[in-house]
Amino acid sequence: MIDEPVFRNFNTIGSASMTKLHVIYVDDDQLMLKATARMFRRLRPEWTITLVSDPLKWEENITAEPSLIISDLLMPKLNGDKLLAEVRHRYPYAIRCLITGNTNQDVPDAISNYAHFILPKPFTENDILAILDSAEQLHNPPFNADCLAKISNTCEHIPVLPKAVKDIQAIARNKNADLKELADAVRQEPAVAARVIQLANSSYLGFQSSTVFLEVAISRLGAVIVEAVAVCMLGHKSFIALTEKEHDHVVERFTTIAASAKSLAKSAHLSLEEQESAFIMSLLISIGMLTLEESGIDDALCFDRYTFSSDYDDVILITVYVLTLWGYSRKITASMLNIRFSLTTLNQDEVTNCVSLALAMHIAKQGGDDEVINLLQAIPEKYNQSVRQVLKV
Q: What are the structural domain ranges in the chain?
A: 2-140, 145-159+239-393, 163-236
Q: What is the CA radius of gyration of the chain?
A: 22
Q: Where are the beta strands (DSSP E) in the chain?
A: 2-3, 22-26, 48-52, 68-72, 95-100, 117-120
Encoded amino acid at 34, one letter = K
CATH assignment, 2-140: 3.40.50.2300
Q: What is the pLDDT along the chain (393 residues), one digit of tens a residue?
A: 433 332 222 233 333 445 789 999 999 999 988 898 889 889 999 999 899 999 999 988 787 889 999 999 999 889 998 999 899 888 888 899 999 876 554 344 456 668 888 888 888 888 899 899 999 999 999 998 889 889 988 887 888 888 888 889 989 988 888 899 999 999 999 989 999 999 999 877 778 788 989 999 999 999 999 999 999 988 777 888 889 899 999 999 999 999 999 999 999 899 999 999 999 999 999 999 999 998 888 765 666 688 899 889 899 999 999 999 988 889 999 999 999 877 777 888 899 999 999 999 988 888 888 999 999 998 988 898 999 988 887
pLDDT confidence of residue 301: 64
pLDDT confidence of residue 300: 58
Contact 30, 56 (CB under 8 A): no
Distance set, CA 279 to CA 159, 166, 230, 354 (Å)? 22, 21, 14, 9
Instruction: Give the strand order in the sheet containing 22-26.
Output: 2-3, 48-52, 22-26, 68-72, 95-100, 117-120
pLDDT confidence of residue 367: 85
pLDDT confidence of residue 110: 57
* Number of neighbouring beta carbons within 10 Å of residue 105: 7
Contact 261, 279 (CB under 8 A): yes
pLDDT confidence of residue 258: 95
pLDDT confidence of residue 12: 31
Whether a cis peptide bond, with omega within 30° of 0, leads into 142 is yes
CA atoms within 13 A on the CB side of 92: 14
Question: Matching CATH topology for 2-140 and 145-159+239-393?
Answer: no
CATH 1.10.3210 fits 145-159+239-393, yes or no: yes
pLDDT confidence of residue 5: 30
Residue 68 backbone phi and psi in degrees, to 5: -145, 130
